Amino acid sequence: MPDRSNMNLIYVYDGSFDGLLCCLFESYAQREIPLDILPADPSQLTLLPVKTIVTDTEKASRVLASIPSKMGSAALNFVRHAFLTCLPQKELYILLFLRLGYRHGPSVMNRLTDNVVNTLVQAVKHLQKESDLLRGFVRFSIINNVLVSEIGPKNFVLPLLAPHFCQRYPEERFLIYDKTHGQGLIYQPYQPLVLPINSLELPEPDEAEQTYRELWRLFYRTIEVQGRHNPKCRMSHMPKRYWQYMTELSGLQPEPARKPTVHANPDFIPAKVLPLLLSRE
């Protein structure tokens, strides 16, 4: 049993998946459950005791091998995806999930009434939904003969986007820059890499690129059926936070509120007015 007297302890790790697995190893080795698990950040202050967990590849490999053997390959794939989410305290939830998995085996994936499992399931669904949307929302511009795109997702979706775009453009060179997480998917034929990019300032588009952007905006406006214009429906399928990164919608002015249209019916006379009209005859 874990020592609950040590539950006011905070683990600090290097932010890698291997580092998180070492946190789990330490939790079992010391029979303790931390209050939280945080990536190392010199600017972050805490009043609670902190234990720094050093990443050890041997320990990480042992934990990694134990997950599919104890709870199935689906659980390993699940925690890998959970690690990419924007869920607050995701590291702690993953640690608690894996402790449940060691106790209950493969059935842990079906324990949806458990708060830890359900929270992670919802977070992974959000990750998968966002990655599905971005497969259609990524817009490339040609800069120095390289396809370049900028995105601002909530979750770290680049590892999920990589297979799609690498298969779609196998002979191209492209860069997808994740502004939120400071990472970039860099691809040249058959060599994909995800690397940290602290900042990226794209040059102004040249005349040819600007022309193609205007043509794309013109096409987008032209194909719309005016009689079926529905801003709310568009925002439900194309959330507004993605618009700034989409060529056809960037710089789009907000639409003024429309007053409800009332169509007069000359054959309709309100019931309260009818007696007054009859009394005048």
% residues pLDDT > 70 (the chain): 85
| Res 265: pLDDT | 47
Task: Tell me, yes or no, whether 24 and 107 share the same domain.
Answer: yes
Residue that is last in its domain, among 100, 127, 154: 127
Residue 25, domain member (yes or no): yes
Residue 110, domain member (yes or no): yes
| Res 62: pLDDT | 98
Q: Please state, in angstroms and rounded to a whole number, the distance separating the CA atoms of residues 58 and 21.
A: 10
| Res 220: pLDDT | 85
Per-residue pLDDT at 280 exceeds 80 = no
Residue 5, domain member (yes or no): no
Per-residue pLDDT at 6 exceeds 60 = no
pTM for this structure?
A: 0.83
Task: Tell me, yes or no, whether 213 and 237 share the same domain.
Answer: yes
Residue that is last in its domain, among 106, 127, 148: 127
- What is the average pLDDT across 259-263? 45
Task: Tell me, yes or no, whether 40 and 77 share the same domain.
Answer: yes
Q: Is 79 helix (H, G, I), strand (E, B) or coil?
A: helix
Residue by residue, DSSP assigns 167-187 as HHSTT--EEEEETTTTEEEEE
- What is the average pLDDT across 186-199? 94
- What is the average pLDDT across 254-261? 48
Residue that is last in its domain, among 69, 96, 127: 127
pLDDT digits (tens, 9 = 90+) for 59-97: 999 999 999 999 999 999 999 999 999 999 999 999 999
Q: Please state, in angstroms and rounded to a whole number, the distance separating the CA atoms of residues 32 and 45.
A: 22
Lowest mean pLDDT among 115-124, 130-139, 202-211, 229-238: 229-238
| Res 101: pLDDT | 98
Annotate 244-257 with b (16+ C-beta within 10 A) or e (fewer): ebbbebeeeeeeee
Task: Tell me, yes or no, whether 14 and 123 share the same domain.
Answer: yes
Task: Tell me, yes or no, whether 18 and 109 share the same domain.
Answer: yes
Alpha helices in the chain (DSSP H): 17-29, 57-71, 73-82, 90-104, 115-137, 158-168, 207-222, 231-237, 274-279
Residue-range definition of the domain harbouring residue 159: 138-196
Residue 24, domain member (yes or no): yes
pLDDT digits (tens, 9 = 90+) for 126-157: 999 999 999 999 999 999 899 999 999 999 99
| Res 224: pLDDT | 83
Residue 155, domain member (yes or no): yes
% residues pLDDT > 90 (the chain): 64
Per-residue pLDDT at 278 exceeds 90 = no
- In which band, very low, low, confident or very high, does the pLDDT at 217 lie, cut at 50, 70 and 90? confident
| Assigned token pair, 203 | 């040059």
Per-residue pLDDT at 235 exceeds 90 = no
Average pLDDT, the chain: 87
Residue 269, domain member (yes or no): no
Task: Tell me, yes or no, whether 100 and 153 share the same domain.
Answer: no
| Res 158: pLDDT | 98
| Res 252: pLDDT | 60
Residue by residue, DSSP assigns 147-163 as EEEEE--SS--HHHHHH
| Res 255: pLDDT | 53
Per-residue pLDDT at 253 exceeds 70 = no
Residue 113, domain member (yes or no): yes
Residue 252, domain member (yes or no): no
| Res 269: pLDDT | 43
Per-residue pLDDT at 257 exceeds 70 = no
| Res 250: pLDDT | 74
